Chain A
Amino acid sequence: MMQLLRIELFKIFSRPRTYISFAIIAAISGVIQLAMLSDGGSFVNFAMQGVNEQFDIQGKILNGYLVTYITLQSLLIHIPLLVALVAGDAFAGEAGMGTLRLLLTKPVSRTQLVLAKFLGSLVYTLLLLIWLAIVSLGVSLLLFGPGDLINLKSDAFVLIMQNDILWRYAAAFAFAGVAMMSVSSMAILLSVFADNAIGPIISTMGIIIVLTILSNLELPLFTLIKPYLLTTHVIGWKGFFDDPVPYHAIAHSALVLVIYTIVFVGAAILFFKRKDIKS
């Protein structure tokens, strides 16, 4: 099993395609930071317009924590798409290349192969999140320095003191890891059915986009299904920037995401064990 995982990681990180995601994250984060450096003051004034009318806010509002929060808001919706690039390729890419049949003529357990590919894509996902933490939080703190974080919501704003922020980011990134694990497992499941990598990558992206739209539509029709949608829970990390932190809701979301992961990986094993390799 460990040998299979080592091989999977070697294959993932030997492909130039893998690093595209890292480059995209660095680029988006860099663009946001650059924009904030050049015109962040106006942005903050605009965003705080309503707040400033009622409150007298002192201190450095445009700081590294705020820029990171803005970056995460923009990026954590897109990261599932980047995760799908590698996880969706796991089986379908090998089938397309023809290496799956060579792999399975070797004395390899199909169950272990699914698990190794899942764990391989999970390692990639976690590294992607660590990279996101470095380029968003790390670089933003370097460029803008620390400060209190003002989290503006539609009907309220939350002020989080500077010394109370870092653990929230750590927890948010950890939660994002669980969320992306479920996305990764969905892409792996779709990958098992396909013989071409494009299909599962596009399908994962499509499903995430459709579910995100459904999660955000305030229509009675969707109210019933919202609690069960993957995308409803994927954004649970935002709870760590509320006051008080809704631990129960966050734990519930994490549990739903873990259940999704188990179901997706279990289904992938079940189907792959019975699959005829015709590619």
Chain B
Amino acid sequence: MVPVLEAKQLSKSFKNFQAVNDLSFSVEQGDVYGFLGQNGAGKSTTIRMVTGLIFADSGTVYIKGGELRNNSRHLLEHIGAIIERPDMYNYLSGWENLKIFASLSHKKIPNSRLHEVLELVGIENRRKDKVKAYSQGMKQRLGIAIAMVHNPDLLILDEPTNGLDPQGIAEMRKLIQHLSHDLGKTILISSHLLYEIEQIANKMLIIHKGKKMVEGEVAHLLHPGDTLIQVTTLPNESITAKLVTSSWQEKVQQSSPILTTFKMDPAQVPQLNAWLVNNGIQVLEIKTKHLLEEYFISLTNDAATTH
């Protein structure tokens, strides 16, 4: 089956800064594809390239098998996107904004569809208000309504939870899950937060400094067996010796008298804790952290030190 979106060897630089470097990925029908990276990693530049806002220096974007550069007017019909902030005409109402952008589609979109999407994103009762009176969350919702009003094959949501409060983030997550699970939408969602992507996406791509670092199924990348369990204990010189003779030894990553790290399924933590206590090792703290998270944090630190 032809991917809904396919990017092949995309590169883009601005003056001397290489924003995206030889990046390839594809989004299949039904995917919720998480696009993860630190701020400045190249996510927005990539998204702008796949939506035709920015022209790649090299590489090709295909939408439903068609090359975007040659036929952008036709192919953009398959996409609904909200990029960075949900900026709209503040002096117009939500309804007028939606009507304007809906009318740019090649399809004739009836008013009933406009009401339907506003109902779906939960701002139907505020449609007549000027957008300048909307909260950030409402603007995000209107942005999603605008992106999906023409019923596109692919929704592209660039950092849709940016600027939202915790309740707004939870509501946005719920909305995206509804679009995916209940309405079967294919979604490309970017974020700089791993936990946000892992809750929503089934596939994930991590980019760093414009280059692909990791790509795959979220279930595989975040396999429970790849979780790091860090156990902090009261100083105990015998802990290493005791572990060597136990079945836990094969899971040990590193060991010291006060800190031992295991790589294992977090479901086994209660048994591990019981074994430690039974062997006279006094546990102060147990922390779990997935390997991918650890890796992602290391990219963060790398980015922080290089900036």
Contacts and interface: CB of A to CB of B under 8 A. Distances in A.
Contact of B101 (A4, A14, A102, A109): A102
B173 interface: no
Contacts of A16: 91
A107 B53 contact: no
A33 B100 CA distance: 42
Interface stretch (B20-28, B77-85, B243-251, B253-261): B77-85
B73 A105 contact: no
A109 B104 contact: no
Interface string B43-85: 0000010011111000000000000000011111101111111
B104 A107 contact: yes
A278 interface: yes
Contacts of B143: 102
A106 B89 contact: no
B234 interface: no
B105 A99 contact: no
Contact of B54 (A11, A107, A276): A276
A252 interface: no
Interface string A1-28: 0011001001100111000000000000
A11 B103 contact: no
B83 A7 contact: no
B92 interface: yes
B89 A105 contact: no
Nearest to A3: B103
Contact of A97 (B83, B84, B87, B146): B87
A105 B83 contact: yes
B90 interface: yes
A11 B91 CA distance: 9
A11 to B, nearest CB: 7
B283 interface: no
B103 A7 contact: yes
B53 A105 contact: yes
A106 B104 contact: yes
B85 A107 contact: no
Contact of B83 (A4, A14, A101): A101
B193 interface: no
A134 interface: no
B88 interface: yes
Contacts of B74: 107
A277 B47 CA distance: 12
A104 B104 CA distance: 10
A102 B52 contact: no
Given A16-B91, A107-B104, A102 B83 contact: yes
B85 A98 contact: yes
A101 B104 contact: no
A103 interface: yes
Residue among A10, A105, A278 having the largest count of chain B Cβ atoms under 10 Å: A105
Nearest to B80: A105
Interface in A9-64: 10-11, 14-16
B15 interface: no
Residue among A3, A7, A276 having the largest count of chain B Cβ atoms under 10 Å: A276
Residue among A4, A7, A106, A274 having the largest count of chain B Cβ atoms under 10 Å: A106
B106 interface: yes
A98 B54 CA distance: 15
Given A98-B87, A99-B88, A102-B83, A107 B73 contact: yes
A-B CB proximity, top 6 nearest: A98-B87, A106-B104, A277-B53, A105-B81, A107-B76, A276-B54
Interface of B: 48, 51-55, 72-77, 79-85, 87-92, 96, 100-101, 103-106, 143, 146, 156
12 contacts: A3-B103, A7-B100, A11-B89, A103-B101, A104-B51, A105-B52, A106-B101, A107-B72, A107-B76, A108-B73, A109-B73, A278-B48
